[in-house]
Each structure stands twice: as C-alpha cells, then as structure tokens.
C-alpha cells in the first residue's frame, strides 16, 4: 500500500462530499472515514475486515476485539508505521482525544459534531490532545 502519484487530488475528491455527512457508526465514523481516506490516496482499503461489522459504539469495540488488535490504536499499529505526531504530514492518520482522522498539515480532519455542525470537523494542530500518528507510505 503506497500513495498514488495524484494522492492529494484523490484525497480532496474524497473529502468534499463528506463535509456535511453526519456521524454514523460503521458507515461514517472515525474508522471508516480514515480508512476511506487512505483508500482514496492508495487504492487499498486498510480496514476491510471492519466494513459492515458494527452499527453502535459497543459493536465497534467488539469488532476491534474480534477482527483487530483489541483497540483502535493497537489495530492501527498493525497496519501502519507509527510516527511522532509532531512529524505527521499531510495525508497521515492522526488520533487526538480518541478521534481518528487525517492530517492536512496544520489541522486534523475528523468526523463529529460541534454545536449545530455535524460532519467533518477541523482540529488545529495546536489543539491536538495526546496525539498519535501513523504514516501512510509513499511509493519508493
């Protein structure tokens, strides 16, 4: 799995229609959103074993135990190389406050709600809490 030459265009095309799509367990949550972003950049879905396996928070936890490595963080460690969050680059996977998203340089894009806004949210890098990051590899 490596980023395609036009990964930035592919990522932008993936993000645009999701801007206002509300959070939904198993369909548009942090795991499916981030996996979809990686698939858009690379052409490979890194989390196919989770698709269609849960529809609730409890179901997602059960799926992580059954199909993953027990937790979302541990599962990501089996799929990607962990890097210091300070070194996260555009297109890398980010976790902050337990939310999984995609790094877009100075922000992380995650799925969630803020006030009346539901959909993709931007979290400035300076506001990341206990961040973790995983590299989505480049070819070569």
pTM of the model: 0.95
Residues with Cβ < 8 Å from 65, sequence gap 6 or more? Answer: none
List the 93-96 sheet strands across, edge first: 81-83, 132-135, 93-96, 99-103, 107-114, 117-124
> For each of the chain's 140 residues, which pLDDT tens digit applies?
999 999 999 999 999 999 889 999 999 999 999 999 999 999 999 999 999 999 999 999 999 999 999 999 999 999 999 999 999 999 999 999 989 999 999 999 999 877 887 889 999 999 999 999 999 999 86
Helix (H, G, I), strand (E, B) or coil at 18: helix
């Amino acid at each position: 799995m490596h980023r395609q030459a036009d990964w930035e265009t592919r990522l932008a095309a993936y993000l645009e229609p999701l801007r206002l799509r509300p959070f939904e367990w198993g369909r548009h949550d942090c795991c499916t959103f981030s996996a979809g972003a990686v698939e858009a950049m690379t052409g490979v879905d890194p989390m196919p074993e989770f698709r269609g396996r849960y529809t609730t928070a409890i179901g997602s936890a059960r799926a992580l135990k059954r199909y993953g490595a027990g937790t979302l963080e541990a599962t990501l460690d089996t799929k990607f190389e962990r890097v210091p969050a300070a070194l996260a680059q555009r297109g890398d996977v980010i976790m902050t406050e337990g939310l999984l998203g995609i790094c877009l340089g100075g922000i992380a894009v995650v799925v969630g709600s803020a006030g009346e806004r539901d959909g993709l949210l931007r979290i400035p890098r300076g506001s990341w809490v206990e961040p973790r990051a995983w590299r989505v590899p480049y070819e070569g």
